[in-house]
Amino acid sequence: MSTVLITGAATGIGNLTARALARAGYRVYASMRAPGTRNADRAAELHALAAAERLDLHVIELDVASQESADRAVAAVLDDAGSLDVVIHNAGHLVTGYVEAFTAEEIAHLIDVNTLGVQRLNRAALPHLREQGTGTLLYVGSTIPVTTPPFLGPYVVSKAAMDALALVTSYEVAPLGIETVIVMPGPFTEGTDHFPKAGRPADSTGVNVAYRTLDPLAARNEAATEGLFTPGAQADPVVVATEITRILSLPFGDRPFRSVVDLTNSQVEQANAAVLEARSDFVRRMGFEQVLHVARA
C-alpha cells in the first residue's frame, strides 16, 4: 500500500485524514509541529490508536515554516519506509479581522505558513517523486478562492495563492508522471481548530474604530457561516477525510484534479467547471497540451 505524508495532522482535517487513511491500509506519516512538547498529547493519541488497531501510522515532526524541517521529515519517511507516494498538504491557519488592521508583515507571515509551506514541502519531496517517475500531490485547499467571504481577507489571499501555486506546479510535474489533486472543503465551524484558534491583528485599535459601523456584521461571522449549511446537514469535517480516502483509492491518473466537499450549496463546482474550460482552452491554444495530462509509465 502507498506511503503517505500529511502535514498539520495534530488536529482537524489532517488528524481525521491520517486516521482514515491508516484504517484504509495506507502507511501514514502524520506530521505536526513539536510532537514531543506542545503537541505531545495529540501525538500520544495517534501512537495509542496505531497500537490499539495495529495501524501503520507514525508521527513525525514537520514545521512547514522551515525548509530544514521539511527536508528532515521527507528524509525520515524515506529512511523508515523506503518510499513516498503521496504528499498531502493540509497545514494552515485562519485569521479574522479587517484587512487594513493587519500589517503587511502579519499577512506575509500567514502566506508564509499557508502558501510557502506548500512550496517548502514540495521542494523536499519532488526530487524523490521525480526520480521514481510517479507520485501524487494532494492539496487540502478551500472553496474560499471562489466564494471569497468578507472579514477573512488575509486568509482568503493565502488560500487563493496556495491554490494558484498548486495549479501552476501541476503543469510542470504532470509530464513527469506526478498527478495533482486539489480538495476544496467548504466552511466547517465545528471539528477543527480554525475558528476557535483564529488569529487577529496584533494592534488594530485605531483601525477598528474606523470600521465600527461594520462591527455587527463581523461579530456574527461564525454564526453567518453556520447559517449557510443545508438544514439538517451534519457539518462534520470527517467528510473531507472520507473524500480524500475515496480519491486515493482510485487508480493513479484517474483521480479528479479538483474535488469540492461543501455543505453550503455555494455553486463552487459550477465555477470550477467554467474556469477549467477557459484555462484549458488558453493553455491548448498556447500549444502546451502536454502539461494538462499526467504522464503514465
C-alpha 181: how far from chain center: 11
- Residue closest to 32 by CA, chosen among 48, 13, 49, 50: 13
**Is residue 161 in a domain?**
yes
Mean pLDDT for the stretch of residues 129-141: 97
Q: 43: which 3 cell numbers?
A: 501525538
Q: Specify the number of domains making up the chain.
A: 1
**What does the mean pLDDT of the chain come to?**
94
Q: At what angle do helices 116-132 and 153-173 cross, to 10 degrees?
A: 20
Helix (H, G, I), strand (E, B) or coil at 3: strand
What is the per-residue pLDDT for 206?
83
**Is residue 277 in a domain?**
yes
Mean pLDDT for the stretch of residues 70-89: 98
**Is residue 255 in a domain?**
yes
Indicate whether 199 pLDDT > 80: no
- Residue closest to 7 by CA, chosen among 186, 136, 157, 140: 140
Question: Residue 65: phi, psi to the nearest 5?
Answer: -85, 0
Confidence of residue 241 (pLDDT cuts 50, 70, 90): very high
**Is residue 297 in a domain?**
no
What is the per-residue pLDDT for 191?
60
Mean pLDDT for the stretch of residues 86-98: 94
Indicate whether 232 pLDDT > 80: no
Mean pLDDT for the stretch of residues 30-56: 97
Indicate whether 203 pLDDT > 80: no
Q: At what angle do helices 12-23 and 238-249 cross, to 10 degrees?
A: 40
Residue type, 277: E
Alpha-helical runs (H) found in the chain: 12-23, 40-53, 67-81, 104-114, 116-132, 144-147, 153-173, 205-210, 215-219, 221-226, 238-249, 268-285
Name, in order, each residue with C-beta under 8 angstroms of 189's C-beta and a sequence gap of 6 or more: 195, 222, 225, 226, 235
What is the per-residue pLDDT for 61?
98
Residues of the domain holding 81: 3-292
Mean pLDDT for the stretch of residues 215-237: 85
Q: 270: which 3 cell numbers?
A: 459550477
How wide is the angle at C-alpha 177 spanned by C-alphas 172 and 178, nearest 5°?
A: 65
What is the per-residue pLDDT for 233?
75
What is the per-residue pLDDT for 143?
97
**Is residue 119 in a domain?**
yes
- Whole-model pTM? 0.95
What is the per-residue pLDDT for 208?
86
In terms of C-beta density within 10 A (0-12 exposed, 13-18 middle, 19 or more buried), how is residue 129 classed? buried
pLDDT in tens, 2-19: 999 999 999 999 999 999
**% of the chain exceeding 90 in pLDDT:** 83
**Is residue 114 in a domain?**
yes
Residue 131 sits in a domain whose CATH number is 3.40.50.720
What are the beta bridge partners of residue 232?
Answer: none
